[in-house]
Amino acid sequence: MPLFLFFHSVHVFLSSLRPLELNILGNPRPSRLPHGHEVGVVGHGPMKTSRALRADTLTSAVHVWKFTMAAVKPVLYSYYRSSCAWRVRIALALKGIDYEYVPVHLVKDGGQQHKEDYKTMNPMAQVPTLLIDGLTLTQSIAIIEYLDETRPSPPLLPSDPKDKVKVRMIAETIASGIQPLQNLAVLLQLDEDKRPAWGNRCIDTGFQAVEAMLSQTAEKYSYGNSLTVADLCLVPQVYNANRFKVDMSKFPTISRVHDELAKLEAFKKAHPSQQPDCPDDQK
Ligand SMILES: N[C@@H](CCC(=O)N[C@@H](CS)C(=O)NCC(=O)O)C(=O)O
């Protein structure tokens, strides 16, 4: 049998199995992926979901490989400038976890996060959602802690409970005390002209607390000289601060740590400008 015919047969066989495999893994079947979403296979450039399920005989070998990997590869539902999805992207990059990127446009069509299909995975209608190890995970901090427990290198939380609680205090100040107040769903409750000042005030107030905390704990990074979940929260929040024109000169420790973190490869890879759904004018 010619080689391409062999690969094609294997591909057809695997394609027919794929819904079953995904189901066994507890992931949604392809038909339940939000329709028409772009699937950016990290490192392979963007491609259409529907196109991903087709193959021509000449490229069967590549497709067999991609389909096989897709069945086991984690899938991240993300939006390029979502600070919460960005935290998870940094964790995935630091831990060297390869994944498929599925953009969920938070604004287009009234917000794709509100589609019923998507809400079966994430009932809060938010990003991120991570499909991994047969689980459908939501809530960025819970996801990061799961990744840290199942893939401990490099650790993102210190082992000593007295250090760990301090790191969580910083992370929670951002994840629970700042970001939810300036989240899209909250901003949409305000008249459009009031939104910039509101976002600015929420972040400014929260950053006063974070600055006070970091002035006690930061060395190279937010907590000493090791990367922690606090750093994963800090960098995306500074991006939001800049969007809302917060005067960052008031926060020298945050700014110094941010600039240090921004030099790291994993943080660069996770940056909004590097995501497949980033508009060209923001790259
Ligand atoms: N606590 C959640 C918050 C997630 C969240 O607020 N995501 C934002 C983007 S950063 C979102 O999806 N917003 C959509 C909306 O407000 O409609 C987490 O950490 O994952």
Q: Which CATH architecture has domain 3-150?
A: 3-Layer(aba) Sandwich (3.40)
Q: What is the mean pLDDT of residues 47-60?
A: 47
Atom 13 of ligand 1, residue of closest alpha carbon: 126
Cα–ligand 1 centroid distance for 136 (angstroms)? 16
Task: Answer yes or no: is pLDDT of 260 > 70.
Answer: yes
Q: What is the mean pLDDT of residues 180-193?
A: 98
Cα–ligand 1 centroid distance for 127 (angstroms)? 5
Is this structure's pTM higher than 0.85?
no
Least confident range of 5-14, 201-210, 212-221: 5-14
Based on its alpha-carbon atoms, the radius of gyration of the chain, rounded to whole angstroms, reads 20
Whether residue 184 has its Cβ less than 6 Å from ligand 1 = yes
In the chain, the percentage of residues whose pLDDT exceeds 70 is: 75
Task: Answer yes or no: is pLDDT of 27 > 80.
Answer: no
3-state secondary structure of 209: helix
Whether residue 106 has its Cβ less than 6 Å from ligand 1 = yes
Q: How far apart are CA 260 and CA 172, in angstroms?
A: 21
Whether residue 183 has its Cβ less than 6 Å from ligand 1 = yes
CA distances from 193 to 114, 183, 197 (A): 24, 16, 8
Domain boundaries defined on the chain: 3-150, 161-282
Residue 72: pLDDT band by 50, 70, 90 thresholds?
Answer: confident
Cα–ligand 1 centroid distance for 62 (angstroms)? 35
- Counting every residue, how long is the chain? 283
* Tens-digit pLDDT profile for residues 108-124: 999 999 999 999 999 99
Residue 265, φ and ψ in degrees, nearest 5: -55, -45
Domain 161-282: give its CATH code: 1.20.1050.10
- 169, 171, 173, 177: CA torsion to nearest 10: -140
Structure-block tokens of residue 30: 């392809």
Whether residue 140 has its Cβ less than 6 Å from ligand 1 = yes
Burial of 126 (0-12, 13-18, 19+ CB in 10 A): buried
Task: Answer yes or no: is pLDDT of 10 > 90.
Answer: no
Which amino acid, one-letter code, is at 123? P
Nearest ligand 1 atom to the CA of 176 is 1
Atom 5 of ligand 1, residue of closest alpha carbon: 126
Cα–ligand 1 centroid distance for 226 (angstroms)? 27
Nearest ligand 1 atom to the CA of 88 is 20
| Cis before 123? omega within 30 | no
Q: For residue 28, how far is the Cα from the chain centroid?
A: 18
